[in-house]
Structure 1
Amino acid sequence: MTRILGVLALCSVAVAVSACSTGPSAPSGSGSADNLTGRTFISTEVTGDAIPGGGPLVVEFPEPGHLAATAGCNRFAGGIDLADGTLSAPNLASTMMACPPPADGADGWLSTLLSGSPQWSLDGDVLTLTGGATTVSLTNKKVADPDRPITGTEWLATTVRTADAVMSSAALENADVTLMVTDGGQVSGSTGCNRFTGTAQVGDGTLVFGLLATTRVACVDPALAEIENHILAVLSGETTYVVDGTEMTLTASNGVDGVGYRAR
């Protein structure tokens, strides 16, 4: 069954950010709030109440005074105040996606942590959040989970993207839809029904595909035929890509259709 990911409703609250003192013997809450901006942290250790489903907790600071976070289910976002070593987040909005057990308890865990105004401290690439009996150590995502190279990595398709939605399906999960680009620009992979080969010019954030040669096996399953048509339409001409850790989003030349991949 197709699952459509919930659309995030952002709460636009402007909050002033105060920097905290630094120093080798500073208490919890040390580190400058300015050093959080533009960074994403991923949990590496949880002391106290464990994250239902295992998480991880991912916390982003996209701009001053704003936070986005997920513990493995829905995504919370909104304005925050980091003054006095305390993370105050009174007006966070969230997506409304249903998650299977045990990850369905992750939202409650995250809400409890953030609504309790946890203490925060930053030491280089390590962010620590302490709220009640729970302490979470998080590491800069670029350090804990560095971006995979676009070439030399086998990418497995996990979602298809259209103007209307980002979708996954049982057919896609079982189809083993893959993409591989070598350092020399050779392309190979599978649409789920057929294998393909070809070439691509690799640029800074772009892949320009040449004509792909495919096998000619008929897709008996209509869902697989639809996936194949979408994949081949995206892997045509100039595309753009964004890599974030183990995830890659490839967007077609129309700027709308795309494929979400995960490094295998």
Structure 2
Amino acid sequence: MRMTALAGAGLLLLGLAACGSESTAGGTLKGKTYLSTSITQEGDGTPPAADTRVRLQFTEDGRLIADAGCNTLQAPVSTSDGKLTLKDPPSMTAMGCPGGGDALDSWLSNLLQSKPTWKLDGNTLTVAAAGTTIALTDRKIVEPDAAIDGTKWTLSGVIDYDTVGHQQGAEKAWITFNGDRVTGFTGCNELNGKVARSGNNITFGELATTRRACAEAEGAMEKALVNGLKGQMTYKIDAGNLTLSTANAGLTFIAAR
């Protein structure tokens, strides 16, 4: 699965954009992630469900990465003059979203492309446009990072250069770290092996698996997981999300709840 521009098929190549002056809106957003605590909408628009959680991540290289619970969109962004201005139409992953997730994707994309205003007051970010107001709080306050050790990390995606694909049956595969050991399940077989950690790097030794015969989809999932956990990888934890990556590949996981 590849990132596709909302306006049509194909991969949208994103340029980097500086955030610009942010002093008029009360601080800097660069390098921070915010999660919504309330969404209000006036007028004729239908507000999202009460449990909708909007995530806005402002990267150090000037991009906005956002989601409302399903697909992830991103684009270079300017935050000058108290407005969020996307420099290009956003690109978006193309996963199927149950329960009205597609409508939420469109709602969020349209809102962010309308150049909403923003204001930062301490740890609270307010984003508003066309009668919709989203109050968000610094992610680290409402959703601390999960511990890498002892957490059951469920596979969520396979990274290939700048795209993230979802493997069929990925939700059945998982890994857990405990010191210098990694154990888990490929969706078909159990796995275990040794790891070495230094800073934000993890080096995987050879992984051993049991030998149960796998159906075609399970076998593909197992191959993606075992082949993805090789050699030295960089790891990053963002709340309940773990990314293990090399220069052009990697795996993404979600902390099991």
Q: What's the TM-score once normalised by structure 1's chain length?
A: 0.77
Counterpart selection for 1:194 from 178, 189, 194? 189
Is 1:89 the equivalent of 2:92?
Answer: no
Matching residue of 2:244: 250
Compared CA separation, residues 82 and 189, structure 1 to 2 (3 A) = same
Alignment of 1:49-198 (within 5 A): 49-51=46-48, 55-63=52-60, 67-72=64-69, 73-83=71-81, 86-89=82-85, 91-98=87-94, 99-100=96-97, 102-163=100-161, 165-173=163-171, 176-182=172-178, 184-198=179-193
Of Structure 1 and Structure 2, the greater strand share is in 2
Q: Which amino acid in structure 2 is aligned with residue 258 of structure 1?
A: G
Kindly state the Cα deviation for residue 137 of structure 1 after the two structures are TM-superposed: 0.7
Kindly state the Cα deviation for residue 14 of structure 1 after the two structures are TM-superposed: 5.8
Is 1:263 the equivalent of 2:219?
Answer: no
The whole-number CA distance in structure 2 between the counterparts of 1:179 and 1:131 is 42
CA contact (8 A) 1:53 1:106 kept: no
The whole-number CA distance in structure 2 between the counterparts of 1:66 and 1:163 is 17
Kindly state the Cα deviation for residue 64 of structure 1 after the two structures are TM-superposed: 8.2
Please list every run of 5 or more consecutive structure 1 residues that lacks an aligned counterpart in the other structure: 21-28
Percentage of matched positions with identical amino acids: 32
Matching residue of 2:39: 46
Kindly state the Cα deviation for residue 111 of structure 1 after the two structures are TM-superposed: 4.3
Kindly state the Cα deviation for residue 189 of structure 1 after the two structures are TM-superposed: 0.7
Is 1:36 the equivalent of 2:29?
Answer: yes
Is 1:235 the equivalent of 2:229?
Answer: yes
Kindly state the Cα deviation for residue 11 of structure 1 after the two structures are TM-superposed: 5.3
The whole-number CA distance in structure 2 between the counterparts of 1:211 and 1:126 is 45
Deviations 1:82-131 (A, max 9, x none): 32xx3152644212545546122224423443354433221111101222
Kindly state the Cα deviation for residue 38 of structure 1 after the two structures are TM-superposed: 1.6
Matching residue of 1:10: 14
Does the residue aligned with 2:169 lie in a helix, a strand or coil? helix
Kindly state the Cα deviation for residue 202 of structure 1 after the two structures are TM-superposed: 2.3
The whole-number CA distance in structure 1 between the counterparts of 2:161 and 2:87 is 29
The whole-number CA distance in structure 2 between the counterparts of 1:164 and 1:64 is 15
The whole-number CA distance in structure 2 between the counterparts of 1:250 and 1:172 is 15
The whole-number CA distance in structure 2 between the counterparts of 1:112 and 1:241 is 32
Q: Provide the aligned length of Structure 1 versus Structure 2.
A: 243
CA contact (8 A) 2:202 2:234 kept: yes
- Give RMSD over aligned pairs: 3.0
Q: Which amino acid in structure 1 is aligned with residue 253 of structure 2?
A: Y
- Point out the structure with max Rg over C-alpha: 1
